[in-house]
Structure 1
Amino acid sequence: MSTAPTTSQSSHRTSPRGGRPFRRLVLPLGVVALVAAQGVALRLSGVEPEPLVGILMFGLAIVAAAFALAWAGEAAEVDISGGLAVGLLAIIAILPEYAIDLYFAFSAGSDPSQAPYAAANMTGSNRLLLGFGWPFILLVAFLVFRASRARRRPLDPGIERRPFAVRLPEDNRVELGLLLIASLLTLLIPLTGGIHVMLGVVLLALFAYYLWRAARGESKEPELVGVPQAIGALPTVARRVTVIVIFALSAVVILLLAEPFAHSLIAGGRAAGIDDFLLVQWLAPLASEAPEFVIAIVFAARGRAAMAVGILLASKVNQWTALVGTLPIAHALGGGGWMLPLDGRQTEEFVLTAAQTLLGVSMLLGLRFSGRWAVALFVLFAATFVFSSTEARWLVSGVYAVLAVVLLLARRRAVVPTIGAPFRRPVTHGRG
């Protein structure tokens, strides 16, 4: 964490536009607090609402908490490195998924019938993140780019016009390298038919290293506007307390409401005649992924497309290391053995998810996320809904793998630097 602000930082500390703290800070935070409070009040009342009511009220509260997180995450860049701010945002945003997955994994220790649900939620949320989340963020960035060009506003420096693409900073090689390493480690899962506790410990260690590495990353002077600027303009102690309180309260709201939101989604799905397995794999992740999607959309809509993609990339690192790693440990603590078993269907789902992950990493080796690859990710993701047989899952897995290998060969010069990026000494600069 940085020490006293430099002169160049003072521009973010001054009261924006002549000093209107109520309109710039208190009013927006008050609105999101009220929206979140109605969901929390419903949760604490013990009343079980109708599915549609629960989806609406709990969902709005989670979205409000996500907006507050996005504001606090931007303001936190005044005091900590951008990489660590993104990592912390991703961790808090992914808390609902941890809560749901760990519940199923812990229950599977005494009730083996719950084991498929833990793996289903994990694979579903991972594929939803890459197959829908990444392409949607690029679509938002493209729409913002078009609007900015039409209004002749300054364009996001991370945007390439022809062909349209989001250019990622060199720092993102850390996440890409860790994802490549984690993908190699997770090859043991389909080979052994389960997730072993020892593999979980290794993946958790990799995640802990990622946080440590992000904390030592390069510090840059942030460019804040709106609510984050108002927070950044506060005195040092007040600013840090405000950011910490927002992070903490948002995390509490998200954790408290993830379960009833998921239950409302599942109840609504059951009423529509949807299979329980599909509900856990796809509808529950809509609840768990909602905060990080909203946060990323907020950044993309504000012209920070590279940071939006970076948040989803950090979330993927969290999912592929910490989330996968904690499942067998939760299973063991719940009374199970040293391995969380996967049946044949779950092995197929995991191979499909691993192959998609490898393609996602491969397409970003050049630190560019282009429209054609976003379309490819979405089309392959959607294909598994249209063609849902075992043969179709293996076929799509094969397509993911072939495309990934082709890209790895085409960009082979970037593979070794990417794998080594997490272990190179980070460059640190002062602010100002």
Structure 2
Amino acid sequence: MIDTSTPTATERAHAPRMGRSAWGRIAICIVLALPAVVFRVTGFAPNAVVDLLVFGGAVVAASFLLAWAAEAAQKDISGALAIAILALIAVLPEYAVDLYYAFRSGYDPAYEQFAAANMTGSNRLLLGFGWPLVVILSLLVARRSVKAGSLPASATKVLQLETSSRLDIGFLALLAVVAFLIPLMGSIPMWFGFVLLAAFVAYLWRASKVSDGDDEDEEMVGMAGNIASMPTRARRWTIVALFVVAAAVILSSAEPFAEALVASGSALGIDSYFLVQWLAPLATEAPEFIVAALFALRGMGGAAIGTLIASKANQWSLLVGSLPIAHVLGGGTTGGLPLDGRQVEEFMLTASQTVLGVAIIIALRFHRWSAIALVALFAVQFVVTDTSGRWVLSVVHLVAALVVFWVHRSSILPTLAAPFRRAGAAAVRT
């Protein structure tokens, strides 16, 4: 719900204001983004590698502004909807780059591979690296509380997820199953894209209907905390300004950054597919990882992993659903975005990894050994790069998922039912 309370004159007089150091960080991000704006306006493009550094730096800087503003906005938008919106906004830089590739592929078939490459890379990076990072940090932080006697010893081995994550996990589970239709069809048809977009709308609607009456305001950290501490009117204007500036930089930098990635591969003798699949997601998702890590370091591991789970659901619904539409708008056929053999393998590997991730968290517990296993399996894919290796790794994911699902079988039905449960039920997302 939106916070509409109006502060009194006394409250306004004593309200904390954002310090110089916080404004300095915003200024640094703007300065880092300025060269990209100059390049874009003047058309100056010395070479692909310089373009990559300039526009990539601008995307990262704007991503930080976006992440700070999105997190601070939770001060005015509370509950489950805030988490869903935060997760959506945090991945907008990735969406801008990926949708450009999909749009370009509509009139340049050589770019068809890059749309799927960027999506599958960011998706696997989020689960294979982001999730374990948050868990390990949370468990390390929990050691202090265990020593102080405020938490049981098990808190250093297992991260307990918040019950509010049940809805996100339920949607992600359904989307993971549906995702296997993509490699089976060998493409992402237009009709399938609209189905995924409808699923995203349903996800946001259900999140907005979940009661949060018993939720406590979560402590904001870092820059988001500085912005949130401002007086109401100044805070809202600051958040809007950050959104506008960040969006302008990202939209103006997405195309040249995407083009520079492809061109830099040829210039440096590196596979362009590899750069698009892994370097772009590292740039666009770095702020999201940092925000989640800050939550974990402040002992808010449940909220941190909850945000990353919501981001994963956003990727499988809104992002994947938008790809065929962008492809058609760029001049492609109404059949949707075609996939070659490599893309089919990549989607299969990504979907199987998602199923394993759902199996691990379906009981609302994330064990440290599960985090280590996810990182290990994520690292293996950089060694196993051939067709047979990707299929074998996909099978390993699915077999491991079946075993974990059996262990957590009592949680399967409640999780799958969570997206369809009547709003306002007594047990919120349980």
CA distance in structure 1 between the aligned counterparts of 2:152 and 2:105, rounded to whole angstroms: 45
CA distance in structure 2 between the aligned counterparts of 1:159 and 1:50, rounded to whole angstroms: 55
Aligned amino acid, residue 211 of structure 1: L
CA distance in structure 2 between the aligned counterparts of 1:272 and 1:342, rounded to whole angstroms: 27
Q: Which residue of 1 aligns with 2:184?
A: 191
Q: Secondary structure at the match of 1:77?
A: helix
Task: String of CA shifts for 1:187-237, please: whole Å, max 9, x gaps.
Answer: 222222211111111110010111222233325323345544443343433
CA distance in structure 1 between the aligned counterparts of 2:404 and 2:132, rounded to whole angstroms: 18
Tell me if 1:250 matches 2:246.
yes
Q: Which residue of 2 aligns with 1:241?
A: 237
Tell me if 1:221 matches 2:217.
yes
Q: Which of 379, 402, 414 is the aligned partner of 1:405? A: 402
Q: Which residue of 2 aligns with 1:357?
A: 354
Residues 212 and 55 of structure 1, relative CA distance in 2, 3 Å threshold: same
1:351, distance to aligned residue in structure 2 (A) = 0.8
Q: Secondary structure at the match of 1:166?
A: strand
Residues 377 and 224 of structure 1, relative CA distance in 2, 3 Å threshold: closer
Q: Which residue of 1 aligns with 2:170?
A: 177
Aligned amino acid, residue 108 of structure 2: D
Q: Which of 80, 85, 105 is the aligned partner of 1:83? A: 80
Aligned amino acid, residue 322 of structure 1: L
Spell out the pairing of 1:76-225 with structure 2 (5 A cutoff).
76-145=73-142, 161-163=155-157, 165-217=158-210, 218=212, 220-224=216-220
Aligned amino acid, residue 243 of structure 2: F
Residues 254 and 276 of structure 1, relative CA distance in 2, 3 Å threshold: same
For the 8 Å contact 1:120–1:281, the answer to whether it is kept is yes
Residues 257 and 370 of structure 1, relative CA distance in 2, 3 Å threshold: farther
CA distance in structure 2 between the aligned counterparts of 1:94 and 1:372, rounded to whole angstroms: 28
For the 8 Å contact 1:63–1:294, the answer to whether it is kept is no
Residues 102 and 31 of structure 1, relative CA distance in 2, 3 Å threshold: closer
Q: Which residue of 2 aligns with 1:2?
A: 2
Aligned amino acid, residue 172 of structure 2: L
CA distance in structure 1 between the aligned counterparts of 2:45 and 2:72, rounded to whole angstroms: 37
CA distance in structure 2 between the aligned counterparts of 1:35 and 1:392, rounded to whole angstroms: 40
CA distance in structure 1 between the aligned counterparts of 2:152 and 2:337, rounded to whole angstroms: 42
Aligned positions, number: 422
Q: Secondary structure at the match of 2:19?
A: helix
For the 8 Å contact 1:15–1:233, the answer to whether it is kept is no
For the 8 Å contact 1:94–1:288, the answer to whether it is kept is yes
CA distance in structure 2 between the aligned counterparts of 1:159 and 1:42, rounded to whole angstroms: 55
Aligned amino acid, residue 187 of structure 2: G
Q: Secondary structure at the match of 2:159?
A: strand
CA distance in structure 2 between the aligned counterparts of 1:86 and 1:282, rounded to whole angstroms: 26
For the 8 Å contact 2:60–2:283, the answer to whether it is kept is no
CA distance in structure 2 between the aligned counterparts of 1:272 and 1:355, rounded to whole angstroms: 33
CA distance in structure 2 between the aligned counterparts of 1:159 and 1:22, rounded to whole angstroms: 39
For the 8 Å contact 2:98–2:118, the answer to whether it is kept is yes
For the 8 Å contact 1:69–1:295, the answer to whether it is kept is no
Aligned amino acid, residue 392 of structure 2: L
Q: Secondary structure at the match of 2:75?
A: coil
CA RMSD of aligned residues (A): 3.4
Q: Which residue of 2 aligns with 1:414?
A: 411
For structure 2, list consecutive stretches of 5 or more residues without a partner in the other structure: none
Aligned amino acid, residue 90 of structure 2: A
CA distance in structure 1 between the aligned counterparts of 2:425 and 2:3, rounded to whole angstroms: 14
Q: What TM-score, normalized to structure 1?
A: 0.85
1:303, distance to aligned residue in structure 2 (A) = 3.5
For the 8 Å contact 1:108–1:331, the answer to whether it is kept is yes
CA distance in structure 1 between the aligned counterparts of 2:139 and 2:267, rounded to whole angstroms: 37
Q: Which residue of 2 aligns with 1:329?
A: 325
CA distance in structure 1 between the aligned counterparts of 2:12 and 2:364, rounded to whole angstroms: 33
Task: String of CA shifts for 1:316-371, please: whole Å, max 9, x gaps.
Answer: 11110111111122222223132322222211111111100100111001112222
CA distance in structure 1 between the aligned counterparts of 2:141 and 2:406, rounded to whole angstroms: 33
Spell out the pairing of 1:296-307 with structure 2 (5 A cutoff).
296-307=292-303
For structure 1, list consecutive stretches of 5 or more residues without a partner in the other structure: none
Aligned amino acid, residue 69 of structure 2: A
Tell me if 1:391 matches 2:388.
yes
Q: Which residue of 2 aligns with 1:380?
A: 377
Q: Which residue of 1 aligns with 2:313?
A: 317
Residues 37 and 213 of structure 1, relative CA distance in 2, 3 Å threshold: farther
For the 8 Å contact 2:100–2:258, the answer to whether it is kept is no
CA distance in structure 1 between the aligned counterparts of 2:39 and 2:137, rounded to whole angstroms: 32
Residues 71 and 13 of structure 1, relative CA distance in 2, 3 Å threshold: farther
Q: Which of 279, 284, 288 is the aligned partner of 1:283? A: 279
CA distance in structure 2 between the aligned counterparts of 1:81 and 1:215, rounded to whole angstroms: 10
Percentage of identical aligned residues:
48
CA distance in structure 2 between the aligned counterparts of 1:345 and 1:158, rounded to whole angstroms: 47
Aligned amino acid, residue 162 of structure 1: T
Q: Secondary structure at the match of 1:282?
A: helix
1:132, distance to aligned residue in structure 2 (A) = 1.8
Q: Secondary structure at the match of 1:385?
A: coil
Q: Which residue of 2 aligns with 1:308?
A: 304
Residues 73 and 107 of structure 1, relative CA distance in 2, 3 Å threshold: closer
Q: Secondary structure at the match of 1:182?
A: helix
CA distance in structure 1 between the aligned counterparts of 2:13 and 2:393, rounded to whole angstroms: 54
CA distance in structure 2 between the aligned counterparts of 1:158 and 1:212, rounded to whole angstroms: 37
Residues 274 and 386 of structure 1, relative CA distance in 2, 3 Å threshold: same
For the 8 Å contact 2:63–2:93, the answer to whether it is kept is no
Q: Which residue of 1 aligns with 2:270?
A: 274
More divergent stretch after superposition (19-28 vs 347-356): 19-28
Q: What TM-score, normalized to structure 2?
A: 0.85
Aligned amino acid, residue 315 of structure 1: S
CA distance in structure 1 between the aligned counterparts of 2:148 and 2:249, rounded to whole angstroms: 36
